[in-house]
Structure 1
Amino acid sequence: MGGISGPDDDALWRQVVAGDGDAFTLIFDRHRDAVFRHAGRKFQLSHVAEDITAMVFYEAWRKRVFVRVVDGSVLPWLLVTTNYVARNQARHERRHRSLLARLPAPEPVDDIADVFVHDDTRERRAADVRRALATLRPLDRDILTLCVLEEMTARQAAAVLDVPEGTIKSRLSRAKTRLGVLLPVLGPVGARPATEGTH
């Protein structure tokens, strides 16, 4: 049981189901490292594994009435949930990369071929796009995701987001325009924005 003494998971989880936060803390302390290691096998980046671990325990608390204790341990449920959360994370990252690939390229600049020479340069451009996307309102990002990535029509996106179809069309147009303006201005990560007349 991870080397932490105290009541077994079955007894603790009955307290968790009743809303006992202290009992949940004991469960977290007991199994957090195992969940983190399992997440780390799927994502080598420690901060991603940390995020997945946090989400797993959030789901455990949120769905505590439905959690199954197997052979006196909640760890199997936690590890299965880790797989589920990791799959969602991987899917999210694939969709994000696909969205970046579908966005229109910025206006050509001198030495535009350099953008494609090295992987680190491409990563900087991807970071530019992420920073530009971060400036958009959540609804605009959702509209870009649905209409550009998922290739939904404006009518379909309107139904999903529960907003008028005209709102989808106007916000999509403005979001694309804003990205087109921001991307050339942002430039490489860590660089100062270029001014007119410079080369």
Structure 2
Amino acid sequence: MSDPLRTRIRAGDREAFSELYEEYARTVYNHAFRLTGDWSTAEEVMADTFLDAWRTREQLEPDGGTVKPWLLGMATNKSRNANRGLGRRLAFLSRRPAPDPVPDFAEETAGRLDDARRLAAVRQVYGALRRGEREVLALCVWSGLDYAQAAEALDVPVGTVRSRLSRARERLRKLTDQRLREEKREEHRKARGETRARNTEPPRRRGELSGEAALAALPLQEIQEGSR
């Protein structure tokens, strides 16, 4: 974001703000979805974020680099409020399809997640992380902010971002591995149950005929019953 454009935004230039929206709307939307786990809530957060950005535009510093930390900081706060009000967390990701407009997620994790199963497990356990851990992962890993930018967005020291991110990555790895082990045990249990079901036939009742003998006896049984 160039300094002249920052100045135009501060001055209330609607065309400049339109450029801001076009460039960052999808980024804010994706970030809000990761923190709320709900499409409609993410849309509301995105709309409220840009509304507040317009209302507080004069607080934007005229000098500086990208305005992404400024926008994502507002989106993070609004996501917190939305989560408190709705009582829903990122556990929704385990029951929702993968969000299509988040290519950065796949790109960032491609080197660490060896297959689609592991990626699904990450989504399922992500909601079990603490709020601060989810936020630094969303900002640093998926939204691409560096430590300083994430610290600006969260209004915390850089050291706090570093420690939270380290803990978040470690906990996410452990929870994911645990989830995969549980899924593997469940698959083995089901496989053993299916094998037993295939190899076990129901006990034959006394006097019951089976196979061709039963088919051959059918006309005789009908005749005998009809003659009674």
In the superposition, the TM-score normalised over structure 1's length comes to 0.41
- Find the structure with the greater CA-based Rg: 2
| Higher RCO by CA contacts (8 Å cutoff, separation 6 or greater) | 2
Q: Which has the higher helix share?
A: 2
